[in-house]
Amino acid sequence: MAIRRLPETLVNRIAAGEVVERPASAVKELVENAIDAGARRIDVAIANGGRSLISVSDDGRGMARDDLPVAVERHATSKLPSDDLLDIRWLGFRGEALPSIGAVSRMSIVSRQENDDSAWAIEVEGGKVGSVKPAAAGKGTRIEVRDLFYAVPARLKFLKSDRAEDLAVQEIMRRLAMAHPGIAFTLQQDGRVSFRADAVPASLMDDGQDLQQLGRLEQILGRDFADNAVPIRAEREGIRLTGHAGLPTYNRGNAQHQYLFVNGRPVRDKLFVGALRGAYADFLSHDRHPVVALFLDLPAEQVDVNVHPAKAEVRFRDSGLVRGLIVGALRHALAEAGHRASTTVAQSALGALKPQASPTMPLPFQSTFGGPSRWRGYDNLRPSSVPGLAEAAALYNAPQGDFSGDFSGETTATGEGLAPAARNEDAGVAPVPLQSYPLGAARGQLHETYIVAQTADGIVIVDQHAAHERLVYERMKVNLEAGRVPRQVLLLPEVVELSEAEATRLSTRADELAELGLVLEGFGAGAVVVREVPALLGDVAVQALVHDLADAIAEYDSVLPLKEKLEEVCGTMACHGSVRAGRRLTLDEMNALLRQMEATPHSGQCNHGRPTYVELKLADIEKLFGRR
Ligand SMILES: Nc1ncnc2c1ncn2[C@@H]1O[C@H](COP(=O)(O)OP(=O)(O)OP(=O)(O)O)[C@@H](O)[C@H]1O
Ligand SMILES: [Mg+2]
């Protein structure tokens, strides 16, 4: 076998195999070029999923006559002024996209620079470059790609249906548009406008909320996202993170709505997926996913973008730092969001209430319920043993010995329930009606599960189990951070039978579990004996707890770092210590729960991302009854 040098066209086709995998990748390259050219408006049209035509027009700076033949040559670029591959300031840098696309299609370029008398055109057909000719066009560049892959028919066979290719093109456009809110984008598919994003002006009033970015995200991810997202802003060692993150209650069934941009470039990154998991681990069960768009801007030398043929992945110099920045910023922002639950929860609840709504339409908190294993073994949780709540109710009533009397049904029914501190008339403070608290005054309990409260302008319905679970969990975390989780010795140590692997897994983690207040040790093969439990959990069903912990540890063992693992385990424990649905509460206890929720971070959702309460505004209720 003789070694031979491959002809240029073949070399380009081989390169094209990597750079242009499908029509969407050609669209990506051409739109990125337009962005690099400083365009304010980019119009894309495709036909037959991009197979027969891809056209990209921009109003950017254009190319001069003599630039055109060079632009379609391999390894020719205007974007690497020095020879430093670590100093990349543009989306492009390799000078590969145009020659690759030209090698496998019929491509024509018409371009005009601002001060030129005319536009110039060049054609490339299956790699054969034609001569430059004058043409008529305004400032900017228009590139048309016809019959993509006609020169490599094998590739055509790998394309999916037109519909699937259409969707892939839309997704690329959405991503690029998200990262460049100042540019107007349109996409036409077979003559129909399927995507448009008008330019969002930079706001002079921007108070650090990244309004321009949010405006674009609203266009693309929808109004609901904008209403239910918190702004993210953090900076560390020259790395800047901005963006918006959805509230945990605004979650999705898959991870497709998670967008990361590094220096304006949409990328996929395992680090990002892991960081999101870590940041939301407290709030979401593992089959629910947050909606997030984050923008990372860092000095060019901190990130290597030359690691993937389609530039879809990057490598960070200090990935630990980046991960920490993302997790920290998200946690901080979610904590600030406090007990806010997403508006969509109330909206879909209202939707479900409306007479015309389908009767089978699930409420969001039903659809996101954790698996049945979570609920195993609650039956023997004794009501009297619920810790925290009774003591909180007592505290809450402390200012007046006879105060609880004021919470009798008749008194509260007139709406005059008052907060205890405010009722201290000796201090001369005007009474604060309970109703003016964010979660209002408890009015009653329905189905031994839901607390109904009246607020100044609406009704709040609280899922008592979900709410209490969150309270216990937050308290466990505080204890955990302080390094002292109060434990309670079991009078009779309890032996729990498990599989051998489960038992080993638990006993090798005995030290960590002890930190959380659970003291156990191996008990022969396939069993553990539990001696102490976290005091917060009260009279907990030990068997169920240990089984669930074994599940949790098996699931998260390798994927979460130690700290998050502990928190996940905390979550599992909290779930066991919670006021179960089905337990009757007194009004005092209900009000105590509401006040605790207001004072507790993240109390808008339980540990599994279900909302803990829904608020219905009077205005909305009036609409339901046609009063508005
Ligand atoms: N829409 C455009 N407007 C102005 N100049 C363009 C446009 N598209 C391409 N060019 C010019 O043609 C050159 C080659 O483009 P090409 O996409 O092949 O390479 P690149 O963008 O430099 O690098 P990469 O291969 O990483 O995309 C660019 O460097 C740029 O100077
Ligand atoms: Mg390019």
Please check the confidence at residue 410 and state whether its pLDDT lies above 90: no
Q: What pLDDT does 237 receive?
A: 87
Strands, sheet with 229-236, edge to edge from the N-terminal-most edge strand: 229-236, 239-246, 292-297, 258-262, 265-267
Alpha carbon nearest to ligand 1 atom 28, residue: 77
Give distance in angstroms: CA of 242 to centre of ligand 2. 26
Please check the confidence at residue 49 and state whether its pLDDT lies above 60: yes
User: How many other C-beta atoms are found inside a 10 Å radius of the C-beta of residue 382?
Assistant: 11
Please check the confidence at residue 364 and state whether its pLDDT lies above 60: no
Give distance in angstroms: CA of 344 to centre of ligand 2. 41
Average per-residue pLDDT for the chain: 79
Q: Select from 27, 31, 36 the residue to mutate for testing ligand 1; criterion: most ligand atoms less than 8 Å from CB.
A: 36
Return the higher-pLDDT residue of 599 and 152: 152
Of the segments 41-45, 156-160, 616-620, which one has the largest average pLDDT value? 41-45
Distance from C-alpha of 120 to C-alpha of 68, rounded to nearest angstrom: 8
Please check the confidence at residue 413 and state whether its pLDDT lies above 70: no
Angle between helix 562-577 and helix 464-482 axes, rounded to 10 deg: 140
Give distance in angstroms: CA of 94 to centre of ligand 2. 7
pLDDT tens digits for 446-502? 888 899 999 988 899 998 888 887 887 787 778 777 777 788 898 889 999 888 888
CA dihedral 25, 31, 35, 37 (to 10 degrees): 110
Among 120-134, 155-169, 201-215, the range scoring the smallest mean pLDDT is 201-215
Give me the percent of the chain exceeding a pLDDT of 70.
78
Q: What pLDDT does 592 receive?
A: 86
Q: Which atom of ligand 1 is nearest to the CA of 98?
A: 18
State the pairing for strand pair 192-197/265-267: unpaired
Q: Specify the DSSP element, H or E, that contains 294.
A: strand 292-297
Q: What pLDDT does 119 receive?
A: 96
As a residue count, the chain comes to 628
Alpha carbon nearest to ligand 1 atom 29, residue: 77
Please check the confidence at residue 4 and state whether its pLDDT lies above 80: yes
Q: What pLDDT does 356 receive?
A: 39
Q: What pLDDT does 30 receive?
A: 98
Give distance in angstroms: CA of 268 to centre of ligand 2. 19
CA dihedral 573, 576, 577, 578 (to 10 degrees): 120
Alpha carbon nearest to ligand 1 atom 19, residue: 95
Give distance in angstroms: CA of 70 to centre of ligand 1. 10
Decide: pTM greater than 0.75.
Answer: no
Q: What pLDDT does 564 receive?
A: 56
Average pLDDT for 148-163 = 91
Q: What pLDDT does 561 receive?
A: 46
State the pairing for strand pair 41-47/184-189: parallel
Please check the confidence at residue 357 and state whether its pLDDT lies above 60: no
Among 303-317, 415-429, 562-576, 613-627, the range scoring the smallest mean pLDDT is 415-429
The binding-site residues of ligand 1, defined as CB within 6 angstroms of any ligand atom, are 29, 33-34, 37, 58, 60-63, 71, 77-79, 92-98, 141
Among 131-140, 602-611, 619-628, the range scoring the smallest mean pLDDT is 602-611
Please check the confidence at residue 128 and state whether its pLDDT lies above 90: yes
Return the higher-pLDDT residue of 205 and 7: 7
Alpha carbon nearest to ligand 1 atom 14, residue: 71
pLDDT tens digits for 58-83? 999 999 999 999 999 988 899 888 87
**Nearest ligand, CA 94:** 1
Q: Which two tokens stand for residue 446?
A: 């329905």
Please check the confidence at residue 524 and state whether its pLDDT lies above 70: yes
Please check the confidence at residue 409 and state whether its pLDDT lies above 60: no
Q: Bridge partners of 463?
A: 450
Return the higher-pLDDT residue of 266 and 607: 266
Give distance in angstroms: CA of 226 to centre of ligand 2. 32
Q: What pLDDT does 358 receive?
A: 32
Distance from C-alpha of 160 to C-alpha of 167, rounded to nearest angstrom: 11
Please check the confidence at residue 625 and state whether its pLDDT lies above 60: yes
